[in-house]
Each structure stands twice: as C-alpha cells, then as structure tokens.
Amino acid sequence: MNHHRIKVLLIEDNPTDARLIQESLSEASDDPFDLETADTLAGGLQRLSAGGVDAMLLDLALPDSFGQETFVRAKAQALGVAIIVLTGMHDDTLALKLVQGGAQDFVAKVDVSGNNLTRAILYAIERERLEQEFRKLNEELEKRIWDRTSELEAANRELEAFSYSVSHDLRAPLTHLHGFSSLLLDNHASQLDEQGQRYVRKIKDGVLRMSSLIDDLLTLAKVSRQELRRCEISLNSLVEEVMKDLESETSEREIRWLVGSLPMIECDRGLMRQVLVNLLSNAIKYTRKREHAVIEIREDVIDGKKTIVVKDNGVGFDMKFADKLFAPFQRLHREKDFEGTGIGLATVQRIIHKHSGRIWADSQPGLGATFYFTLGSEITNQSTKLTAQVVPA
Amino acid sequence: MNFESAPQPIDILLVEDNEADVRLTQEVLTDSKVRNNLIVANDGAEAMACLRRQGKFQNSARPDLILLDLNLPVKDGREVLAQIKEDANLKTIPVVILTTSKAEEDILRTYKLHANCYITKPVDLDQFVTVVRYIEDFWLAIVKLPSNHKS
C-alpha cells in the first residue's frame, strides 16, 4: 500500500480544523497522501460513491448529521474503506462503541500531528484490508456450510419421503395379503385340504412378521432423524409406567421385580420410554422359561459414572456374540424359541448414543443377562442406594 | 351393548382407489350387524361428484358416514377432506380417515383439516374387522349426529 498514493477523504465542516489536518498530513515524512475534502456528510458520501477512496477521516459533528449517527451512515456506504473518526474531545465510551461498530481508529483533533495521523491512517487501512479478507473467508465458509446444510436437508427430505412411502405403500399390499388369506381360510376352507390350510396360515404369519419388521425399521429410522426433546423426568415413574404397559405380557407369569431407587434423569421422555420398553420386554421374553423370573432395575456407579442396570435371570447369551447384540437384524436366538425382529436393541443403542451415553451387556448362557447404560453427563440426581422393593407381577 | 336397529339402512361412502381394499371393506361390512349400503368412489373427483350428486351419482343418497383413504389418484384424500369441511352442507357428515399410513404428518394434517377421526388400517384382518365394528358402534350408534335430510 505504501508505494501507491493513498486517497484520503476528509469530511469536516470546520475550515480551521480541515486546514490543520491538511497541514499535518503534508508534514508526514514521505507525504504519501492525496487529500480530498467534503464539508457535509452528503457531499462526503457522494465523493465516496465515486470510488477510489482508501481511508476516510470523519468528523462526527457535521451540518447535516451529528454524533454516532454520522458514523453509522458513513459506515453503511464505506465498504472496504477504513474510517478514522475525528473528534473535538476525548470520549472513550463513544470511541469504544464506534470501534466495535467498525471504525478502524479514533483520533482526538487535539492530538493530531503529522506522524500520529499518518500512522493512524496507514494502520487503519491495513486493519480494514485484513478485516475485509477475514470477512471474505468467513463468507466463503458460511456459504460452504450453507451448501452442505442444504445438501443434508435435501438428503433428509428424501429419507423422510422414503420412510413415508415405506409406511404407506409397503403396508398396503400386506393388508391385502393378510385379508385375502384370512378370507380364504374363513370362507373357502372346504376347498382346501389340511396342508393347504396350513400353508395359508404360514402366509398370514409371514405377513404379520413383515408388518412388524416394517414398523420396527420405521421406528429405528425415526430415532435417527428425531431431535431430542430433553426434560427432567423421574426414572422410577417411567419404569412403573412401562411395567403397566407390559402387563399383557406378564399377567400369566410369576415375575419378581426388584426396582431400586432410580435417579431423576434429563432425557427425551418418549425415547427413554422406548429404551425401557425394549429392555424390559426383552427381560420378560428371555426369562419366559424360568419358573421364578427375577428382573432387577437399579442405579450403580461403574468407572465413576452413574449407570442404570437392567438384569434378568433368563437364558442369557454367549459373550462371544456380544458385538452382534446391538446390530440391526442380528438375533442370537432362533425365532422358534424367542420371537423378534432383531431391531429392538439397535434402536435402544441409537437412542442411548443420541443422549451421548453408552450401552453394553454382560451375560453367560443360562445365567441371565445384564444391560448397562449411561447417559453422558445427564444422570442428574445422586441416589445410588439400592432400596429393593418387590412389585407383584 | 344393545343398539336400536336403524329403521333404514345406513349409507356409507367409501373413497378408495384400490380394488383389493374395496373388496376387503365390502367383505367386512357385509357381515355387519348394522344394515348398510356401501357406495364406492374410486378417486377424489368421484367422491365429490357423489357427495354433490352429479353425473352417475345423481340418485345417490347423502351418506351418513364417509370412509376416506388419503392417497388417491386425480384428487387426493386431503383435498377431498378439505372440500367436504369447507362445504356448509357436507361438513356435518363424519369423515373417518381409514388409511394404511402411520405417518405423523398425515395424522396431524388431516386433523388440521377437521377429519373426525384418523384410523390406521391394521394389517391383520381380524383386527380390521374389530376396527370397523368400533367405527359402526361409535359413529352409527353411540354418537348423536344432526338429523339430516336425506332427500
């Protein structure tokens, strides 16, 4: 910059001050400045719009504008032009305010001398240049973020459309398959022999299984897209609520529930409910062959972290398959022994991960399974004491 | 529960483009304890023609209940619903959305358009039969609707 002539626009209505500044600038060692003067803001802004100005020396008290307003109006039209505000008095508060608003410097007229004005202008120009560069980089970055966000939003919309069509269009043919198979059995059984009827029943079973697979997959997909709506809830009352929901599965079973004193937790209630429904109905399902089923839910501290523990005395699983446990469609038991789609624990894991938590399991075949989960730092209330209470199944 | 049997059959308008769905609904309604006439419209435009007794529907009765699918060709179910609920003469007819969709946006949107209720059609036929019985019990026996002029 220093090798070119530097165009400085002075907006100042007081001829004495204007002359003072003009003289100060010409005193500067290598006199790099071309100075133009305007005595109103309007005149100054008109000159500014003609272009070529590198820096502006701006008096705030002008015939057509006063104070901070003068600066705001000048700044609005001076993109890339360094503004140095001139003032008759010391006013640090105003100075700071203007610098925050984008002025490059603030010089009191009483302090004006050739060297410090020259330095102020040169540094102001340099700062303005850096600021412009920074702004440009920032704009580019913002544009890239914007583009990426739009791409992601588009992908998300496509995914929404896809799951919508899965929800609607894939289910419709299933209702037909099931409906007409049922009608075949109800109204035309006489035309089918025993084996034929068995085949039709198999078709119906297959349809219902397909239908629950679709439902579970949609739930899994929804969990991934859904935003968390966090609130503080009592884990004990949620557990109670879920146990009531599962009554149809437990009414004819003898299950001893050991529910400890559980903490208040900060989480998405609907999603946490799904976690508990999955973990507890798994515990109910896999203890089915036990005469005395015991299901325990308590809080513990593991590796210094508050952890929720769900433990059953069911069939358990072999730990060498532990890594498959949370993968979608992975099942460790035969459908014949224990029904299921293999999506439940995948959903549970996604929900826990969404809460920045961790879930893992521990088991030995025949000796039951224990599931542990943390919720990042969200388990709020200190209550680690196990006060067992037996809830009749 | 013991419901007074209606002196005349109930008229139900089924708006459904899929032949298989029409057939299944007919089957279920045939076994109904409520005597009913099922009028079928295969798309939204036909549904409106029927409700306004235009064209081939000139002699159709004003339905007591509308079973409306959402995804229909030409004029879709949401549009049909909106038009019914904007029409001073038609808006008193209960509209039951009966669709395979479980999508929350459908549920919310149709209630915003003043659907009387939203039912996801179960895949299981036995459950579908139960649902249709509930619809009949509720809309045709339990609730009091404004007496309409069937002429």
Residue ranges of B 40-99 with Cβ closer than 8 A to chain A: 70-71, 99
Interface test with A, best of B28, B119, B121, B123 (most A CBs within 10 A): B123
**Minimal-distance CA residue of chain B relative to A164:** B103
Give the model confidence (pLDDT) of A5-32 as tens digits: 889 999 999 998 889 888 888 877 677 8
Is the pLDDT at A382 greater than 70? The verdict is no
Give residue B150's pLDDT. Answer: 54
Residues A357/A374, Cβ–Cβ less than 8 Å: yes
Residue A198 has pLDDT above 90, yes or no: yes
B103–A179 C-beta distance less than 8 A: no
Average pLDDT over residues A190-194: 93
- Min Cα–Cα distance to chain A from B28, Å: 10
Last residue of a domain, one of A83, A115, A137: A137
Q: Please give the mean pLDDT across all residues of chain A.
A: 86
ipTM of the complex: 0.81
Segments forming the whole domain that contains residue A357: 229-391
Give percent of chain A above pLDDT 70.
94
The pLDDT score that the predictor gives to residue A258 is 95
pTM here is 0.61
Mean pLDDT value across residues A163-176:
83
Q: What is the mean pLDDT of residues B3-11?
A: 67
pLDDT, residue B2, reads: 46
Whether domain B10-139 has CATH 3.40.50.2300: yes
Q: Do A176 and B21 touch (CB under 8 A)?
A: yes
Spatial strand order in the sheet of B10-15: B36-41, B10-15, B65-68, B95-99, B117-120
The whole-number pLDDT of residue B88 equals: 92
Q: Which helix or strand (DSSP H or E) is residue A286 part of?
A: helix A269-286
Q: What is the CATH number of the domain that holds A308?
A: 3.30.565.10
CB contact under 8 A, A167 and B27: no
Angle at B118 between CA B117 and CA B119, to 5 degrees: 120
The least confident of A59-68, A236-245, B81-90 is A59-68
Q: Which of A140-154, A271-285, A365-379, B54-68 has the lowest mean pLDDT?
A: A365-379
Give the span between the Cα atoms of A258 and A390, in whole angstroms.
5
- The pLDDT value recorded for residue B21 is 92
**Among the listed ranges A127-141, A370-384, B9-23, which one has the minimum average pLDDT value?**
A370-384
**pLDDT of A118 strictly over 90:** no
Has residue A144 been placed in a domain?
Answer: no
- Token duo for residue A320: 């060498």
Cβ contacts (< 8 Å) between A181 and chain B: which residues?
125
Residue A388 pLDDT grade (very low, low, confident, very high; cuts 50, 70, 90)? very low
Same domain for A14 and A119, yes or no, is yes
Tell me which residue in B24, B71, B105 faces A179 most closely, judged by beta carbons. Answer: B24
Mean pLDDT score, A86-93: 74
Q: Per the structure, how many domains does chain A have?
A: 2
Contact (Cβ atoms closer than 8 angstroms) between residue A323 and residue A307: no
Partner residues linked to A294 by β-bridges: A256
- Whether residue A12 is found in the same domain as residue A125: yes
In this predicted structure, which of A29-33, A35-39, B106-110, B145-149 has the lowest mean pLDDT?
Answer: B145-149
- Above 80 in pLDDT, residue A309? yes
Quick one: pLDDT band at residue B148, thresholds 50, 70, 90? low
pLDDT of A31: 73
For the record, the structure tokens of A393 come out as 């199944």
pLDDT of residue A386: 42
Question: What average pLDDT score do residues A146-163 get?
Answer: 86
Answer yes or no: is pLDDT of B66 > 90.
yes
- Kindly report each contact of residues A149-154 with a partner whose C-beta sits within 8 Å and lies 24 or more positions away, as own/partner: none
Task: Reduce the secondary structure of A320-344 to three states and give it as a string.
Answer: HHHHHCCCCCCCCCCCCCCCCCCCH
Q: Which of A114, A137, A160 is the last residue of a domain?
A: A137
User: Predicted confidence band at B144 (pLDDT cuts at 50, 70, 90)?
Assistant: confident
Question: Sign of the C-alpha dihedral, residues A154, A160, A162, A165?
Answer: negative
Does the distance separating the beta carbons of B100 and A175 come in below 8 Å?
Answer: yes
Instruction: Note whether residue A292 is domain-resident.
Output: yes
Choose among A163, A168, A211: nearest Cβ to B123.
Answer: A211
pLDDT band at A329 (very low <50, low <70, confident <90, very high): confident
Do A82 and A128 touch, CB atoms closer than 8 A? yes
CA distances from B122 to A168, A207, A330, B19, B129 (A): 12, 12, 27, 17, 9
Contacts of A341 (CB under 8 A, 6+ apart): A209, A212, A213, A216, A329
Of A192 and A339, the one with more pLDDT: A192
Q: Does B118 touch chain A (CB under 8 A)?
A: no
**8 Å CB contact of B124 and A218:** no
From A174, which residue of chain B is nearest by alpha-carbon distance?
Answer: B123
Is B21 within 8 Å of chain A by CB?
yes
The whole-angstrom distance between B118's CA and the closest CA on chain A is 14
Q: Are residues A243 and A372 in the same domain?
A: yes
> Which chain B residue is nearest to residue A162, measuring alpha carbons?
B103
DSSP secondary structure letter of residue B57: G
Q: A236 pairs with which residues across the strands?
A: none
Contacts of B110 in chain A (CB under 8 A): none
Residue A393 has pLDDT above 50, yes or no: no
Judge whether A69 and A97 are in contact, CB under 8 Å: no
Q: Is some CB atom of chain A closer than 8 A to the CB atom of B108?
A: no
Q: Is B105 on the interface with A (CB under 8 A)?
A: yes
Assigned domain for A293 exists: yes
Shortest CA distance from B124: residue in chain A: A178
Last residue of a domain, one of A107, A137, A167: A137
B100, B106, B128 member nearest A172 (Cβ): B100
For position A78, which CATH number holds?
3.40.50.2300
Closest CA relative to residue A355, chosen from A270, A286, A287, A279: A270
Which pLDDT belongs to residue B149?
Answer: 54
In this complex, do A211 and B102 lie within 8 Å of one another by their Cβ atoms?
Answer: no
pLDDT mean over A310-339: 86
- The per-residue pLDDT for B147 is 73
